[in-house]
Structure 1
Amino acid sequence: MSTVEGEFNGLVAIVTGGASGIGAAIAQRLRAGGATVAVFDLAPESADADLAVAVDVSDDESVRAGVARVIDALGRIDIVVNNAGIGAQGDIAANGDDEWHRVWDVNVVGLARVSRAALPHLRVSPAAAIVNTSSIAATAGLPQRALYSATKGAVLALTRAMAADHLREGIRVNAVNPGTADTPWVGRLLDAADDPAAERAALEARQPHGRLVSPDEVAAAVAYLASPASGSTTGTSIAVDGGMQELRLRPAGS
């Protein structure tokens, strides 16, 4: 994992969902660049962080208490990475209202809760940045991902709106759009498939570069977007998907 030595020195970052998978890779990457990192997670015990806090992003009181804990312990907030999220499978009829509300509450409103709680502290930071984790599901129609895609499309739109609202306050807001990544969550989906090996092969083949995305690759894109060196980058997104969003290759061997 490449780093720029000291690029985040003196800065404090919050990474939600930072105890495993992509979030853990992001926390590790920011720390490697010199950041002091606070991880918010439902189960933060295994987090590799300077401060690990049990936070439920679907609960405003929990979020505000977590942000207050960061300020008490670390004194400032410069970077917020809204990575916490949950999945959902099925077409438009597969999930009832309760599940729609639950997934939306975590993936979209949870992002808003954390950002607004951190906003007063970001406003006084000399290098304020928010990075939201969206998905290839926001830019490509994937089968059996209706609810999940709706939430990630909202994350992408919300990223642009936030960037417009807070640009003149000195806060940059961007998103990263991962393809299917090799994470514990994807591993559990594969384990539940009738033929896990065949399902993995199908997911790998769906991405033009022929493999799953690594969490470290997503973390590198997040680090670019969060870095003070990217001061002219806001209101945009980076696809880390092996070319799935933009490329249309002919079948291999043809």
Structure 2
Amino acid sequence: MTTSTASRVALVTGGSGGIGRAVAERLAQDGLAVAVHYAGNRARAEEVVAAITAAGGTAIAVAGDVAEENDMRAAFDAVENAFGGVDVVVNTAGIMLLGPVATFGLDDLDRMHRTNIRGTFVVSQQAAARVRAGGAIINFSTSVVRTQLPGYAAYVASKAAVEGMTLILARELRGKDITVNAVGPGPTATPLFLDGKDETTIANFAKATPLERLGAPGDIAEAVSFLAGPARWVNGQVLYANGGLA
């Protein structure tokens, strides 16, 4: 059993990915003990744990398919066994597959929705039952819910569902002193975003924001840090961290 002197504990799903890693490392800097969740790449998760530990933080790696109830029950059990409880749950785990409605493969639709919708729902169920008073649940949407770019319909459908369940869960947890919010990143320089895009497309995305740059994973982690810590009066909201993208 791992022990920690941290007063608060966070579980970050997809914590070995681009935004997930930045979130895990930022929460560790904020003084939280962090469980870095991964689905298949244990080595990458252990790299994040090692980086957090080297910086003076406390972290463990936990595994599981976010869409499988038994996997996530075991992951939450592991966090509670290691640190004594869970205060913050951040759902960064997700996949993005793009294509027009007319030709989008239904197998791809099902695969993406299984992770993005069912996965968020399964993790939210565990979080609703386990997060301690004073805690926070933070899901992930996308700014494309508002910008409605062609080719993003299937992905946006999954993230709009995440927004809906987030706002309702906030109200279902009345009286428990647990906030539930979502972060909607804009174009952010991660492998998930950059994959398959040419330099011109990437440059156009950067110019689309008034700040004329892509977001960095750390920009998104800052928004999560705010919702996970001081933002106790922000509840049932979607925070679009997108540099002013319309």
Structure-1-length-normalised TM-score? 0.86
Is residue 75 of structure 1 aligned with residue 72 of structure 2?
Answer: no
- 1:18 and 2:15 correspond: yes
Where 2:136 maps in the other structure, the secondary structure is strand
- Show CA shifts across 1:113-133 (max 9, x none): 1121233221xx232110111
The residue type equivalent to 1:15 in the other structure is V
Looking at structure 2, the residues matched to 140 and 167 of structure 1 have their Cα atoms a distance apart, in angstroms, of 31
Q: Secondary structure at the match of 1:127?
A: strand
Report the equivalent of 2:100.
Answer: 91
Q: What are the within-5 Å matches in structure 2 for residues 32-71 of structure 1? A: 32-42=29-39, 43-47=41-45, 48-49=48-49, 50-71=59-80
Using the alignment, how far apart are the partners of 2:146 and 2:163 within structure 1? Answer: 9
* In 1: Cα distance, 2:141 partner to 2:213 partner: 20
**Contact 1:137–1:153 (CA under 8 A) maintained in structure 2:** no
Following the alignment from structure 2 to structure 1, what is the Cα–Cα distance between the partners of residues 191 and 106? Answer: 27
Gaps of 5+ in 2: 50-58
**AA aligned opposite 1:55:** G
1:151 aligns to what?
158
Partner of 1:249: none
Residues 140-171 of structure 1 show CA distances to partners (whole Å, capped at 9, x for unaligned) of 21111110011111111111111111132221
User: Counterpart amino acid of 1:212?
Assistant: L
Aligned to 2:226: 224
C-alpha distance in 2 between matches for 1:156 and 1:183? 22
Q: Distance in 2 between matches of 1:58 and 1:101?
A: 12
Moved over 6 A (4+): none
Residue type matched to 1:209 in 2? Answer: L
Other-structure match for 1:109? 118
- Given that 2:67 and 2:118 are in contact with CA atoms closer than 8 Å, whether structure 1 keeps it comes out as yes
Tell me what 2:201 maps to.
199
* Equivalent residue letter for 1:36: A
Return the offset for 1:9.
4.6
Partner of 1:85, secondary structure, is: coil
Cα RMSD (Å): 1.6
Amino acid at match of 1:28: E
Q: Distance between the aligned counterparts of 2:35 and 2:196, measured in 1? A: 28
Alpha-carbon deviations, 1:72-104, whole Å to 9, x = none? 222101100011000011111232332222111
Letter in 1 for 2:27: L
Once residues 198 and 86 of structure 1 are traced to their aligned partners in structure 2, the CA distance between those partners, rounded to angstroms, is 23
Number of the residue aligned with 1:251: none
Structure 1 residues not aligned, in runs of 5+: 1-7, 191-195, 246-254
Distance 1:197 1:15 in 2: 31
Size of the aligned set, in residue pairs, is 230
Distance 1:97 1:185 in 2: 20
8 Å contact 1:133–1:175 — kept in the other structure?
yes
- The answer to whether the 8 A contact 1:9-1:33 is kept is no
Q: Which amino acid aligns with 1:67?
A: F
Q: TM-score, normalised by structure 2?
A: 0.89
| Identical aligned residues as a percent | 35
